[in-house]
Amino acid sequence: MKIAIIYTSKTGNTEELIYLMKKIFQLKKVELFLYRIDQFPLLDLIKFDGIVVGTYTWGMGEIPPEMMDLYHAFEALDVKRVITGIVGTGDTGYPNFCGAVDRFKNMLFVQTELAVTLKVELTPQTNDVQRCERFVNIFLELLNYQNNKTENAI
């Protein structure tokens, strides 16, 4: 099982969250690839069994401009079998807290096998570690279930 984490970060908050997630995934001994959005070849979406998207929210709840090509690639490519998760950071001081997470979530639900989402206020705190562990566990449970289902169908 190959898993990619694709992310963007403006202030470093989302990057900190992604590195926490990476550490948790690595404890689970999975094949993990980490990409900043500007380093990820979009056509490679179909090469992964699981993909976690990490983003901050831009403006009044928008997806950051650098993530829009990834968003559209999910819509254009045949990724229905890919297990996905979306994580993001935001500020509850804005009316649309982590709006980019919600926008990605809605699209990923239609285009992929969306497993789990996670929103974090600003930067990960101690209580967010447990939430990240739960995210990873849920993600891997669905990924393992799909993998076993595929193997049994062969």
Predicted local distance difference test score (pLDDT) of residue 126: 92
First to last CA, the chain: 17
Compute mean pLDDT per 10 residues along the chain, 154 residues long, and list them: 96 97 95 97 96 95 97 97 97 92 98 97 93 97 80 56
140: tokens are: 């891997």
Do residues 120 and 150 make contact, with C-beta atoms less than 8 angstroms apart? Answer: no
Contact call for residues 56 and 98 (beta carbons, < 8 A):
no
Amino acid 151: pLDDT: 60
pLDDT of residue 94: 87
**C-alpha distance from residue 79 to each of 29, 36, 76, 148 (Å):** 24, 20, 9, 18
* pLDDT at position 55: 98
In this structure, CATH architecture of domain 2-153:
3-Layer(aba) Sandwich (3.40)
| pTM > 0.85: yes or no | yes
Segments making up each domain of the chain, as ranges: 2-153
Distance CA 104, CA 39 (A): 19
Torsional sign, CA 114, 98, 30, 71: positive
Q: Determine the pLDDT at residue 150.
A: 59
